[in-house]
Structure 1
Amino acid sequence: MRYHTLIIGAGMSGLAAGIRLAYYEKPVCILERHTTIGGLNSFYRLRGRNYDVGLHAVTNYAPPGTRTGPLAKLLKQLRLRWDDFSLKPQCGSAVVFPGRRLNFTNDFPAFVDEVAAVFPQQADRFRRLVETINAFDELDLSQEPVSARKVLQEHLSDPVLIDMLFCPLMFYGSAIPHDMDFSQFVIMFKSIFQQGFGRPLDGVRQILKVLTRHFKELGGELKLRHGVREIKVENGRAVGVILDDGREIEADNVLSSAGAAETVDLLPGTNRETVPRPAEGELSFNETIFVLDKQPADLGHRETIIFYNDSERFTYAVPDEPCDVRSLIVCSPNNFRYEEGPGSGDEGLGTAEAKPPLEDGIVRITALANPAYWFSLPDEEYARQKAAWGDRMVESALRFMPDFRPHVVDTDIFTPKTIKRFTGHARGAVYGAPRKILTGETPVENLFLCGTDQGFLGIIGSMLSGITIANNQLLRDPPA
């Protein structure tokens, strides 16, 4: 069978693109090398427990019935209902630096007031920055990169406030050391501070189950254990793929979510020599997941996510050491408002009202990692160092949360090596290449990119990436 489009990778962007195409009766097939779906946002089962990969929270939260914004657009484009994702809002998060703390919920006006209270000399400047952010069209795919740090320095004069704004946005979306493209900054600022965090009770499985079921109901094909060895190119045009086992599948278009550099590596040798290979990403993470016999809130930890930095300035770069324990993310999937009804909004959000119904208590601690170090270790030393640096991450985090160690009943740890094994991203680079290809176009005709290296980040952003490329490039004249 010849397909209209072959999609490489069953992550969020690939699944969303597949749904969009299948809805308009385009024969589409998603090819996934592994035995499970989700890519950077997947799940697994270990020692009788379910674990999420990647998902701390879904950004771009909006209460049910909201008519505007990324989540509303996504649901409309995919013909899904609000209840399909069943997102529940966060209890409250914080950015914590020495002597300064910015609390935020999904109530953006309250965050503006918080900034004004903590940085009174910056209040008017911050409001003007928000005006600049709101006036910026991050959906303009023709724009050139602009340094977000330069834009913020034009608006704000306090370097600590600049670093505190950058900290969660970089941790959750920057592929560039020390900076972000302003378009990426705007996307992440809106998704985290203006819209906020939510999560389904069942985590990422809930979203992936909905997407997969919808895709198959529309006639789409999903083939697991179908890794792509090579993209077939004839006369400068993508015409299909060759699988790892040598089988060939033909298509009019190929859409890759593998990453820009990784997609070039899939081209035949003659084409690979003539197509510039984009720079690989450098930034990756270690994460330690702890399962507790108590809820974190019962131990006094009620925040959904804490982004902290204990140094004079925030450093976002590949560390010289195996992990940078000066700045970490502490997340508890328990601390969302799961008991809220389907019509509830965000009024009165507060950390004191956390009522987590998850069976296990969970704490996830994430730190920037040095990929070269983790890839170089022999197996036995690798396991020892994972445990040792997991302990160091906990010791650092305990300055900002109660000591939960007596209540740990299970632990799992991943590193850049783990990320590369399950995503194929060079160096385990979570956010891909530093230069995004917003249009999704490549030098090969009818070969397009979606996902991380297209540039829309986060759970909602990655799905919108797949939808955008499907609409703009594969449907040509997309129906409304």
Structure 2
Amino acid sequence: MQYDYVVIGAGMGGLTVANFLAKYGKKVLVLEKHSIPGGLVTSFARRGVHFDLGILGLYELDEGQTIPQFLEFWGASQVPTRPLRGNLKCFIDGTEFDIEAGKVRESLLEQFPKNRDDVNRVLDIMHAINKEMHSGKEAPEPPYDMTLFQLVKFGMNAMRQRPMFMKYGNKDARRVLDSLTTCDELKTAVYSKAPYPMVFMAFAYQWSVYGESRYPVAGMQAIPDAAVESLRNQGGELKLNAEVAEILIGNGRACGVRTTDGSVYRGAVISNVSPQFTYEWIPDTVAAKARMKAAIARRRIFEPAAALFMALDESRYSLGDLESISIVSTRDYRMTTGEYRPDTAPICINVYPGIEGDEFRPLVAIIPISYEYHNFWETEAGRKRGQSYRALKQEVEATLLHRIEQHLGTGFTNALVHHELSTPLTFERYTYSKNGSFMGWSITQRDYGKFLRQRTDIDDLYLVGQWVFPGFGVAGVMASGYYLAKEILKSDGVDLKKDFAKFFA
């Protein structure tokens, strides 16, 4: 079967580029190994409760933001949303700190009265960084597409227009926090919002959108479902349960894929799968394969997490107006995922609003535990999951539940009607995201901004998603689809940037 483009993976990057190309008349096929589209933006049901994979809310779902604008441009149905206005509870080495939505500064000042200047300094800098990040008049171009003159100009403008971002935002959070306060509890409270080694800009963003994010009324699955609807309305196709086994190369160009059932689909290839898996599908006889693999071999991957899905009977235990609960230690902001164990790792529990018809309240605890933990979670050869893997999962789950019970009481665990643990290997298996990473490449100071090009060394083979510009986050992943479509359509004389701006003028 012949197509203009075959997209591997129905994550939001793949669905985005497919929609833009289909809108301009390209014949597009999206292949998805899973039974539902969306990648990390999917939902599943257990015991009559719908769980998302850990994304609680998105600021970019607000009116005029990336996601609704893309959907409107494609002609998709809009996704009804609701605001998230819940409070935060943070246990730091057992001591409880409460942060009220819309009153972050007031809450922190009240709970850190001896560190008032530090609180104001940290929040003022985060506010300034976020303001500078959103001060541009238009979206930036990928840095690898800039000329030397454009790069120099961009750097000079950044120094002048974004001084706080350049001084603090692109530095490691640990270094920045150590420079702003000596209070370890305050550092930990800031870090608890997303306890991963990242540049400080990531924390500035997380705190700036707290209280401003939105959640789809029908759950996160509504976003990819809307994108699939528009894709099909524009003539594009989606095949589920279709796993790629090989990328076909002819005359030095990608010319299609072969799936595990032997089906062949012809066309230029766009992969929404991590490059590590994408490159393995290229035949060994292709000279560029070894070079492409070597180019990413030393790149560091954003550290993965385990997820504990819990269904809570609120008639027996109420969380009130809480949106998130963190169980952390003052040592956490100095550590990496590889150093954590189940009895020491931070636990961040997202409290979801739930969707109509759910009998119980969905909670998802995100726990940074390494992909390599305990001999790759006691898997067998080829990462095969056997009895030892399942036994270790149960042990880790019991440890995490015990720690949560120590902070929330036995009433909480007694009110759980369901709980199950997913490991980083589970995320990798379902999403083809290397090591189960949910943010692509590492975004520490050493690594941030080193984006892969969307064009590979093989003609007609492209990359899209969290591993290429502009990087992490659902909006960033969707933006990568926009940038790739803009580049591809340019050869047809289409100015996507101009058309998009005109559409919303």
- When normalised by structure 1's length, the TM-score is 0.79
Would you say the 8 A contact 1:60–1:460 is kept in 2?
no
Would you say the 8 A contact 1:294–1:361 is kept in 2?
yes
Corresponding residue of 1:59:
58
C-alpha separation in 2, matches of 1:73 and 1:125: 33
Task: Choose from 426, 442, 450 the match for 2:456.
Answer: 442
Listed one character per residue, the Cα deviations across residues 151-185 of structure 1 (whole Å, up to 9, x for unaligned) are 835973446444433432455xxxxxx333x6656
SS in 1 for 2:192: helix
- Return the structure number with greater helix share: 2
Corresponding residue of 1:287:
307
C-alpha separation in 2, matches of 1:301 and 1:95: 15
Corresponding residue of 2:99:
103
1:259 deviation in Å?
Answer: 1.0
> Which AA in structure 2 matches 1:273?
A
Task: Report matched runs for 1:12-411 at 5 Å.
Answer: 12-46=12-46, 48-60=47-59, 66-67=63-64, 69-80=65-76, 82=78, 84-98=79-93, 101=97, 103=99, 105=101, 107=102, 110-115=103-108, 117=110, 118=112, 119-122=115-118, 123-124=120-121, 126-136=123-133, 139-140=139-140, 141-142=142-143, 146-149=170-173, 152=176, 156-158=180-182, 160=184, 161-170=186-195, 178-180=197-199, 188=206, 190=208, 192-193=209-210, 196-251=212-267, 253-269=268-284, 270=286, 271-275=288-292, 276-278=294-296, 279=299, 281=301, 283-294=303-314, 298-320=317-339, 322-323=341-342, 325-334=344-353, 358-372=358-372, 373=374, 374-377=376-379, 379-402=386-409, 403-411=411-419
Q: What's the C-alpha RMSD, in Å, of the aligned pairs? A: 3.4
Corresponding residue of 1:346:
none
Aligned residue pairs: how many? 442
Return the index of the structure with the highest Cα Rg: 2
Task: Flag the 1:89–1:319 CA change in 2: closer, same or farther, 3 A.
Answer: same
Corresponding residue of 1:341:
none
Would you say the 8 A contact 2:49–2:311 is kept in 1?
no
Listed one character per residue, the Cα deviations across residues 92-144 of structure 1 (whole Å, up to 9, x for unaligned) are 33455355736253x4xx33444555441121453134223322369533189
Would you say the 8 A contact 2:129–2:204 is kept in 1?
no
Task: Flag the 1:80–1:247 CA change in 2: closer, same or farther, 3 A.
Answer: closer
Listed one character per residue, the Cα deviations across residues 305-351 of structure 1 (whole Å, up to 9, x for unaligned) are 123312344255233565354411112213x7x8xxxxxxxxxxxxx
SS in 1 for 2:131: helix
1:44 deviation in Å?
Answer: 3.2
Corresponding residue of 1:413:
421
SS in 1 for 2:402: helix
C-alpha separation in 1, matches of 2:68 and 2:238: 26
Percent same amino acid at aligned positions? 18
Listed one character per residue, the Cα deviations across residues 208-262 of structure 1 (whole Å, up to 9, x for unaligned) are 32222222111110012222222233454333223223433222x3221111222
Would you say the 8 A contact 2:54–2:307 is kept in 1?
no
C-alpha separation in 2, matches of 1:309 and 1:130: 24
Task: Flag the 1:360–1:311 CA change in 2: closer, same or farther, 3 A.
Answer: same
> Which AA in structure 1 matches 2:370?
N
Listed one character per residue, the Cα deviations across residues 30-73 of structure 1 (whole Å, up to 9, x for unaligned) are 01122222222323344x5354341341221565xx43x44454
Unpaired stretches in structure 2, ≥5 consecutive residues: 144-150, 156-168, 381-385, 501-505
Task: Flag the 1:150–1:285 CA change in 2: closer, same or farther, 3 A.
Answer: closer
SS in 2 for 1:274: helix
Unpaired stretches in structure 1, ≥5 consecutive residues: 172-177, 339-355
Would you say the 8 A contact 2:242–2:259 is kept in 1?
yes
- When normalised by structure 2's length, the TM-score is 0.76
1:9 deviation in Å?
Answer: 0.3
> Which AA in structure 1 matches 2:349?
V
SS in 2 for 1:168: coil
Task: Choose from 445, 467, 479 the match for 1:464.
Answer: 479
C-alpha separation in 1, matches of 2:408 and 2:475: 29
1:12 deviation in Å?
Answer: 1.9
Would you say the 8 A contact 1:325–1:393 is kept in 2?
no
C-alpha separation in 1, matches of 2:71 and 2:89: 29
SS in 2 for 1:134: helix
Task: Choose from 420, 423, 435 the match for 1:427.
Answer: 435
Listed one character per residue, the Cα deviations across residues 238-290 of structure 1 (whole Å, up to 9, x for unaligned) are 33223223433222x32211112222222221221222341362622222222
Please identify, of 413-422 and 269-278, the stretch whose mean Cα deviation from structure 2 is larger.
Answer: 269-278
1:409 deviation in Å?
Answer: 2.1
Task: Flag the 1:285–1:151 CA change in 2: closer, same or farther, 3 A.
Answer: closer
Task: Flag the 1:184–1:311 CA change in 2: closer, same or farther, 3 A.
Answer: closer
Task: Flag the 1:89–1:318 CA change in 2: closer, same or farther, 3 A.
Answer: closer
Listed one character per residue, the Cα deviations across residues 191-221 of structure 1 (whole Å, up to 9, x for unaligned) are x43x643222331232232222222111110
Would you say the 8 A contact 1:285–1:369 is kept in 2?
yes
C-alpha separation in 1, matches of 2:178 and 2:389: 45
